[in-house]
């Protein structure tokens, strides 16, 4: 088996790393209060790989031999664990299905090509044998973008890009870097940093997702306010299609339309296998700082972020949590004294807030990030400080921002911890115009609460605004409830659907940065209209008439 790093088959991240609550004393009472779950509850025994009923590979000896002839015997793997790792992504549904031994269609073989030429030969062999081919990056998607259709009778090949990880070239004048699509975030960033560059793309899944996966799902990183979403960062690419390679050179801009580059962005493997991406890179900034602020209400924070987005300031991060998410953040602090704002701020500041008459449990935590030379950073901070002050906010300082920056890649481990104890936690996010954000926030939280009541649970929903644009921003909702193994997926569907429908009903898109997959496909027509879906179907049918390339995703 090739030396490609994969996540645990049953959850997030690598073996040996998991979430602990003992060093966060305020978390246990907080979780008890919001979803009636005692974190001290021992975890349920976890399903072992040996407990799974893994169907035997269904692939003809001829196709298997053809693949081995291309990639070599060590890089065409049909061992159980590898096939299971490549069956699903990391959505809560994926994890529940895996742990619940729900394995209707496991890939028959996982291939690890070494270069674009081998990718082309694998794609062509798959088409010739009428097999299904599913590109695999880090396997971190949460939109159901990887699993083969349940009733797929043809052979299923998972094509893992894990051996295509090199920074190929940097055009130092243009800041355009050519990078192979299978590079994971840390590896890619290390290769760029060694030459003084950064991509500036840092999704929460950074450690376990790949450049090709980011492009194929239209990903967004937390510094997108400065660097753009992956759709902005991607200036060119190469994609293997049946019988040929699509070549889009790295260009600053072009009027060649409709944009083929945009068609590939978010295509989730339905058009081919992206082997290489030309990305805009930036010199590593001299300074990088994230400051924490507090607002008396979410509405005040949203209004401030809107004003910042149209001001002369150009921060790298703009983020404001609602009161619920603020309480959650405080509760995860080590040695925190409580879950109210008093657990976070100094006694002096606490008194200031009291004097201002703030409702301390309605306080909203905000982060704004600044990058660049010292003068630039100083000027940005001053502009933002003024705007935040005009909206009633106050500066907390560097401490909370540094903490957020340090723990952001650890947060995903909480989901597995809760799952082990009979609770589901998941996210849904959208983007909408500034004018719609506050009504949308109210609409979505009300819809989630109604859904909790409908399924008879004490649920929790919290939200933050992030990724600001001139016209609007992303709202990111996290929800959780204890299911005690009582129809967990059916109940999850009620809540998830209510939230998604509330997005559409309030002028939001089905997802700001997680893609469509199968999870969000039911809202596609409402998102882009029937005519939009027809255009997409025409595109996919034209490129892939036999539905061999990751069928069933998006449309
Ligand atoms: P995979 O999951 O392997 O694949 C995703 C889709 O892309 C599949 O359809 C696959 O076939 C296709 N694909 C992958 N590689 C290629 C290729 N080379 N050519 C063609 N098709 C390909 N997303 C964000 O944008 N921002 C976040 O902050 C963020 N945070 C997350 C946090 C957690 C805890 C989790 C679980 C997910 C998060 N995600 C986030 C979602 C996920 O990380 C992204 O969707 C990511 O872009 C997927 O990349 P991947 O390499 O893991 O792709």
Per residue of the chain (555 residues), what is the pLDDT tens digit? 788 989 999 999 998 888 888 888 889 999 999 999 999 999 999 899 999 999 999 999 999 999 999 999 999 999 999 999 999 999 999 999 999 999 999 999 999 999 999 999 999 999 999 999 999 999 999 999 999 999 999 999 999 999 999 999 999 999 999 999 999 999 999 999 999 999 999 999 999 999 999 999 999 999 999 999 999 999 999 999 999 999 999 999 999 999 999 999 999 999 999 999 999 999 999 999 999 999 999 999 999 999 999 999 999 999 999 999 999 988 887 765 554 555 556 677 778 888 888 988 899 999 999 999 999 999 999 999 999 999 999 999 887 777 777 677 777 889 999 999 999 999 999 999 999 999 999 999 999 999 999 999 999 999 999 999 999 999 999 999 999 889 999 999 999 999 999 999 999 999 999 999 999 999 999 999 999 999 999 999 999 999 999 999 999
Segment holding 46, helix H or strand E: none
Domain assignments of the chain as residue spans, ordered by start: 1-21+31-43+412-515, 47-160, 167-283, 287-405, 520-555
Q: What span, in angstroms and rounded, lies between the C-alpha atoms of 548 and 349?
A: 61
Tell me, yes or no, if 476 is annotated catalytic.
Answer: yes
- For residue 335, the model assigns a pLDDT of 65
Tell me if 553 CB under 6 Å of ligand 1: yes
**Cα 210 from chain centre:** 11
CA angle at residue 397 from 396 to 403, to 5 degrees? 100
3-state SS, residue 279: strand
Pocket-testing residue among 113, 205, 215, ligand 1, by greatest number of atoms within 8 A of Cβ: 205
State in Å: Cα 166 to ligand 1 middle: 19
| Alpha-carbon torsion (42, 48, 53, 58), positive or negative | positive
How large is the C-alpha radius of gyration of the chain? 23
Phi, psi of 281 (to 5 degrees): -115, 165
State in Å: Cα 102 to ligand 1 middle: 22
- For residue 346, the model assigns a pLDDT of 65
Atom of ligand 1 nearest to the CA of 135: 11
Whose Cα sits closest to atom 34 in ligand 1?
A: 412
Structure tokens at 161: 């890009």
Tell me if 476 CB under 6 Å of ligand 1: no
What one-character DSSP code corresponds to residue 285?
Answer: P
Whose Cα sits closest to atom 44 in ligand 1?
A: 141
Pocket-testing residue among 140, 156, 185, 275, ligand 1, by greatest number of atoms within 8 A of Cβ: 140
Position of tokens 């060093």? 23
CA angle at residue 33 from 29 to 37, to 5 degrees? 80
State in Å: Cα 191 to ligand 1 middle: 20
Tell me if 224 CB under 6 Å of ligand 1: no
State in Å: Cα 213 to ligand 1 middle: 4
Contacts of 347 (CB under 8 A, 6+ apart): none
Instruction: Decide: 182 and 163 in contact? Cβ < 8 Å.
Output: yes
State in Å: Cα 74 to ligand 1 middle: 26
> Left, alpha or beta for 243 (phi > 0: left; psi -120 to 50: alpha)?
left
Tell me if 91 CB under 6 Å of ligand 1: no
Tell me if 140 CB under 6 Å of ligand 1: yes
Give the architecture (CATH level 2) of 287-405.
Answer: 2-Layer Sandwich (3.30)
Tell me if 467 CB under 6 Å of ligand 1: no
Phi, psi of 214 (to 5 degrees): -60, -45
Atom of ligand 1 nearest to the CA of 550: 11
Whose Cα sits closest to atom 53 in ligand 1?
A: 213
Tell me if 147 CB under 6 Å of ligand 1: no
Structure tokens at 86: 């490549």
Catalytic residue among 88, 112, 404, 476: 476
Pocket-testing residue among 87, 137, 261, ligand 1, by greatest number of atoms within 8 A of Cβ: 137
Tell me if 217 CB under 6 Å of ligand 1: yes
Q: What is the 3-state secondary structure (H, E, C) of 380-410?
A: HHHHHHHHHHHCCCEEEEHHHHHHHHHHCCC
Cis before 258 (ω within 30):
yes
CA angle at residue 410 from 201 to 14, to 5 degrees? 95
Tell me if 274 CB under 6 Å of ligand 1: yes
Whose Cα sits closest to atom 1 in ligand 1?
A: 139
Q: What span, in angstroms and rounded, lies between the C-alpha atoms of 192 and 283?
A: 9
State in Å: Cα 30 to ligand 1 middle: 31
Structure tokens at 430: 């959208």
- The answer to ipTM > 0.95 is yes
C-alpha closest to that of 10 among 74, 75, 105, 98 = 98
Segment holding 370, helix H or strand E: strand 364-372
Report whether CATH 3.40.50.720 matches the domain 47-160.
no
Give the architecture (CATH level 2) of 167-283.
Answer: 2-Layer Sandwich (3.30)
User: Class assignment of domain 1-21+31-43+412-515?
Assistant: alpha beta
Tell me if 219 CB under 6 Å of ligand 1: yes
287-405 has the same fold as 47-160 = no
């Amino acid at each position: 088996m090739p030396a490609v790093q994969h996540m645990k088959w049953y959850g997030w991240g690598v073996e040996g790393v998991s979430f602990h609550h003992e060093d966060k004393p305020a978390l246990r009472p907080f979780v008890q209060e919001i979803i009636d779950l005692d974190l001290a509850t021992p975890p349920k025994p976890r399903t072992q790989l040996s407990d799974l009923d893994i169907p035997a590979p269904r692939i003809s000896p001829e196709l298997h031999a053809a693949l081995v002839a291309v990639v070599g015997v060590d890089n065409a793997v049909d061992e159980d664990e590898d096939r299971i790792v490549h069956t699903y992504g990391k959505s809560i549904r994926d994890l529940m299905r895996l742990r619940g031994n729900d394995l209707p269609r496991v890939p028959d073989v996982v291939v690890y090509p070494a270069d674009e030429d081998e990718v082309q030969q694998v794609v062509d062999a798959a088409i010739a044998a009428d097999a299904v081919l599913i590109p695999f990056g880090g396997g971190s998607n949460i939109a159901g973008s990887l699993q083969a259709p349940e009733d797929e009778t043809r052979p299923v090949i998972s094509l893992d890009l894990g051996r295509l990880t090199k920074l190929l070239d940097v055009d130092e004048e243009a800041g355009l870097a050519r990078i192979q699509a299978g590079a994971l975030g840390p590896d890619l960033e290390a290769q760029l940093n060694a030459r003084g560059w950064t991509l500036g793309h840092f999704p929460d899944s950074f450690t376990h997702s790949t450049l090709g996966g980011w492009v194929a799902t239209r990903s967004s990183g937390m510094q997108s306010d400065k660097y753009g979403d992956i759709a902005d960062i991607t200036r060119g690419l190469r994609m293997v299609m049946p019988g040929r390679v699509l070549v889009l050179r790295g260009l600053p801009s072009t009027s060649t339309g409709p944009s083929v580059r945009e068609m590939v962005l978010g295509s989730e493997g339905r058009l081919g296998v992206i082997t290489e991406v030309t990305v805009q890179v930036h010199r590593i900034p001299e300074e990088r700082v994230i400051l924490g602020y507090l607002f008396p209400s979410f509405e005040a924070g949203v209004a401030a972020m809107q004003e910042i987005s149209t001001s002369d300031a150009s921060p790298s991060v703009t983020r404001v949590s609602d009161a619920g998410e603020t309480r959650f953040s405080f509760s995860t602090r080590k040695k925190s004294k409580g879950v109210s704002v008093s657990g976070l701020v100094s006694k002096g500041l606490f008194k200031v807030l009291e004097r201002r008459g703030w409702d301390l449990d309605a306080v909203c935590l905000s982060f704004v990030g600044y990058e660049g030379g010292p003068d630039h950073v100083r000027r940005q901070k001053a502009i933002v400080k003024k705007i935040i002050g005009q909206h009633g906010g106050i500066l907390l300082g560097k401490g909370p921002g540094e903490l957020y920056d340090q723990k952001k890649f650890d947060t995903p481990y909480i989901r597995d911890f809760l799952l082990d104890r009979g609770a589901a936690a998941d996210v849904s996010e959208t983007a909408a115009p500034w004018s719609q954000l506050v009504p949308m926030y109210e609409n979505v939280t009300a819809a989630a609460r109604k859904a909790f009541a409908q399924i008879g649970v004490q649920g929790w929903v919290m939200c933050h605004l992030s990724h600001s644009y001139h016209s609007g921003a992303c709202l990111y909702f996290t929800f959780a409830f204890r299911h005690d193994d009582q129809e967990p997926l059916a109940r999850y569907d009620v809540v998830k659907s209510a939230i998604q429908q509330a997005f559409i009903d309030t002028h939001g898109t089905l997802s700001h940065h997680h893609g469509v997959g199968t999870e969000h496909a039911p809202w596609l027509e409402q998102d882009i209209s029937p005519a939009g879906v027809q255009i997409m179907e025409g595109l996919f049918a034209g490129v892939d008439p036999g539905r061999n390339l990751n069928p069933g995703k998006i449309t």
